[in-house]
Chains A and B, each alone.
Chain A
Amino acid sequence: MGILRTVLVSKPVRALTSPHHPDHYLERLHPLATAEAVRARVVDVRRETGAASTVELQANGAWRGFEPGQHVEFGVEVDGTRKVRVFSVSSSAHLHDRRFTVSVKAHPDGYVSQFLHRDLERGTIVYLSQAQGEFVLPDPVPDDLLLISGGSGITPVMSMVRTLKDRGHAGHVTFLHYARSRTDEMFTADLDALSSLNIDVVRIYTREPAPGAQLRGRFHIDHLKHLGIDPTETLTYVCGPAGLIASVRDTYTDLGAADRLRLEYFKVPSVDLEAADATGTLSFDTSGSEAANTGATILEQAEAAGLSPEYGCRMGVCNTCAVKKLSGAVRHVVSGEVCANTDETIKICVNVPVGDVAVAL
């Protein structure tokens, strides 16, 4: 953040703009002129292999940068509504100033990922958060590293590998990636070109193995043995679907190497509208508790779980009960409308969870 932005959010300036944030005025001058709200202009949209898109962004001065492996909240405005999803940064940390990319696989039910894939244009302003996440490389980076990813869990790992390559990392890096098939794989061309003297890229296609491939099937300890990797000695990062993470974690725990493992779940939010109402888990993020979805309104379920959220009319009129829904889909009991946006405000008295939902209660 530059000096000008620091001044603009300083106490004396805030006293003059109170009760509004200075950004409330600055965004009226230009959407990118905000001092604290991170925003970016879309510089390029590239279609990747495997129905994925990479969006190159030029962030405004509020952006504090990222560490490889982190993710960012990414909001686009569609017909007046800001739709927010969380995407991993996929670029090297050594692009020029405030320039980075996020990559996302277009999910058949994913409104935003489909929108990015089909409609996002250069020049569009997107609404971001600062980079978040603990799934990052240590400082200093140890010589030998094992990076494992599965499916679209490749994106944060891609950022790590690209950064290590740009940095001229001296140690040996093994990058073990699992995809269903070569056509389903993201970043195929980059991966083909990525292998170098000390970066070993190994790809395993679980459904359509490459002809003559030495490693086949899902993750197994034999894969590591074949690559000559000793899990107890190698700092390992794994990102992917729950199944992959569970099997890597079990393997490392059995070997007594659990402390060598860093993991990140990569779950594509999915909404099963056909499913019976009362499925999934309702998580209360602030209080750290959760309960099996009973199909009642979120307000009633929160009260049943011993919480006392604020409420008023309990009929969707007064807005007293509005809280942030962090993830998942909810259905409005009056209109039947389903909302699946990340980080949107909902009235909990008239919304029921559809599947897994997390709210800031």
Chain B
Amino acid sequence: MSKGHPRQLTHYDASNHNQAPAPLVGLDTDKRATVGLSYMTYEQLDEFGAELDAVRQRVLDDLGQKDADYIRRVIRVQQTAEVLGRIAVLAGVFNFWVLAAGAVLLGFSKILENMEIGHNVMHGQYDWMNDPMIDGRRYEWDNVAPAQDWKHGHNFIHHTYTNIHGKDRDIGYGLLRIDDDQPWYPNHRFNLPLAFLLMLFFEWGVMYHGLELDEYLSRKMTKAEFGHRKSRAARKARRQVLKDYVAYPAIAALAIPFVGWWAPLAVIGATFVANVIRNIWAFLIIFCGHFPADVETFHEEDAENETRGQWYLRQLLGSANISGSAPFHVLSGNLSHQIEHHLFPDIPARRYPEVAKDVKLLVEKYGLKYNTGRLSKQLFSVAHQLATYGKKPSDPYKQGRSPESRALRRAKREARERELAQA
């Protein structure tokens, strides 16, 4: 590791759990991060971090058979729904209502597979089981986005740099303006219709997001790496399309002599509906996790040289929960406990409700905000945000293309270069 490298890690000591996570170490290592100072002192932040570490450790120590049984039960339900759904879709060429039921079952199974199983397994929540079928490193989900690139963008970028402007690529996904501190561009006038389209084709959006085209265009990514990403995405999309829109419809082609030429098309249509059902649901849950009003965002300067406690606090302030019934939580992959998920992304999600009790006690103790609400309330808030921030702001510093913004960006870039040259 060379000296002066912005990601130098020498002072990071994970055994001393209270130091800044390495990726947020700034060039000026004497500077302290300002995250959370409006809520508590540095000493309190350290205490807060230690208390959350203790909560996490308590759950980790208790992991065992019941967690293993739980995830296997979820997988059994999901696979049963998937198999029944596929059969119903195929049999549906003889009866429309069976076709419709099949599409719903298949959509339900894809929701479970993507959210409570895929997302959580790929976080490494069940790696302690050492079961190769649900190993975070090897698991591939029923979604066109390849696991490898999704894990980089989600587990690393999004979960480490949560809600830091210029770092977390999930703030508006480079498509929408959802926060006052994002620069406004003319395409943001179409915030609501674009969000609606993204909702329908969400898995393709996730795949495209994982290519990180913007990183490549700004020369932060090599051509070779971008090429690998493209070919992984193409391979995965080909397999998904082959399965959903070629292989199963081909089986339905056997029914052509009995019902007519459209039998494979009925299967294609029902499977498309199933995929869209999953897309809509995933989009709704995910948008409600970070984009309602009052969710805080941060700037890089605030978060450089964060302590463990500050990192935790940033996760807490940057996420929002959705209240609901137990089945609702399972269907959301327990991302309805987005706050707990962001504090402890690698503990089995079924533990989030129990962890939430401890988190709420700490929230009370330190007088923090705990953003939660019904799905309808959070959704309305997100839609309101999209509508509000889609309008052109009067402040020229908030318009991406104004001369003022350009000058500011240039000044920042030059300051950074000077700093780098000095180091």
* Chain A window 323-361, contacts with chain B (Cβ cutoff 8 Å), 1 for yes, 0 for no: 110000000011101000101110101100000000000
- Interface contact B155-A318, CB-CB below 8 Å: yes
Q: For the complex, is A25 an interface residue (Cβ under 8 Å from B)?
A: yes
Expressed in whole angstroms, the Cα–Cα distance for A80 and B350 within the complex equals 15
Q: What is the distance, in angstroms, from B215's C-beta to the closest C-beta of chain A?
A: 15
CB distance from B401 to the nearest CB of A (A): 33
A84 smallest CB distance to B (angstroms): 7
Most B CB within 10 A of own CB, among A84, A303, A323, A333: A333
On chain A, the residues within 8 Å of B57 by CB distance are 335
- Residue pair B133, A27 in contact (C-beta under 8 Å): yes
Flag B57-72 by CB within 8 Å of A: 1 or 0 each: 1001001111111000
- Size range of the chain B interface in the assembly: 35 or more
- Set of chain B residues within 8 Å of A320, measured between Cβ atoms: 151-152, 155-156
Interface locus among A12-20, A52-60, A207-215, A256-264: A12-20
**A334 contacts B130, CB within 8 Å?**
no
Complex CA distance for A233 and B242, rounded to whole angstroms:
61
Q: What's the tally of chain A residues with a CB closer than 8 Å to chain B?
A: 48
- Is A249 in contact with chain B by the CB < 8 A criterion? no
B295 within 8 A of A: no
Q: Is the pair A20, B140 in contact by a Cβ cutoff of 8 Å?
A: yes
Known contacts A314-B12, A334-B14; A15 and B131 CB within 8 A of each other: no
* Given known A15-B243, A79-B65, A335-B60, contact A318–B14 (CB-CB < 8 A): no
Given A15-B242, A16-B248, CB of A319 within 8 Å of CB of B346: yes
B9 touches A314 (CB 8 A): yes
* Chain A residues, CB < 8 A from B248: 16
Q: How far is the CA of A18 from the CA of B345 in the complex (A)?
A: 26
Contacts of A318 in B (CB 8 A): 151, 155-156, 159-160, 345
Residues from chain A with a CB closer than 8 A to the CB of B156 are 312-313, 318, 320
A137: chain B residues within 8 A (beta carbon): none
Does B362 make an interface contact (CB < 8 A)?
no
Q: Mark B237-278, 1 if CB is under 8 A from A, else 0.
A: 001101100011000000000000000000000000000000
In contact, B14 and A347 (Cβ under 8 angstroms): no
Indicate whether A322 reaches chain B with its CB closer than 8 angstroms: yes
Does A98 sit within 8 A of B, measured CB to CB? no
The interface residues of chain A lying within 8 Å CB-to-CB of B172 are none
Q: How far is the CB of A263 from chain B (nearest CB, A)?
A: 31
A196 interface hit (Cβ, 8 Å): no
Contact A322 B137 (CB under 8 A): yes
B373 part of interface (Cβ distance < 8 Å): no
A297 proximity list for chain B (CB < 8 A): 14
A82 CB within 8 Å of chain B: yes
Checking A75, A335, A345 against B127 with a beta-carbon cut-off of 8 angstroms, the contacting residue is A345
Judge if A255 is at the interface, Cβ distance under 8 Å: no
Checking B137, B151, B155 against A345 with a beta-carbon cut-off of 8 angstroms, the contacting residue is: B137
Q: Taking the nearest CB of chain B, how far is it from the CB of A162, in angstroms?
A: 32
Whether B133 lies near A24 (C-beta < 8 A) is yes
B421 at the interface (CB under 8 A from A): no
Interface 9-residue window, one of B16-24, B203-211, B381-389: B16-24
Q: A81–B129 contact, CB under 8 A?
A: yes
Report A-chain residues with C-beta under 8 Å of the C-beta of B75.
28
Q: Is B15 an interface position by the 8 A CB rule?
A: yes
B212 at the A interface (CB under 8 A): no
| B90 → A minimal CB distance (Å) | 11
A interface residues, Cβ below 8 angstroms from B: 12, 15-16, 18-21, 23-25, 27-28, 37, 75, 77, 79-84, 297, 300, 303-304, 312-320, 322-324, 333-335, 337, 341, 343-345, 347, 349-350
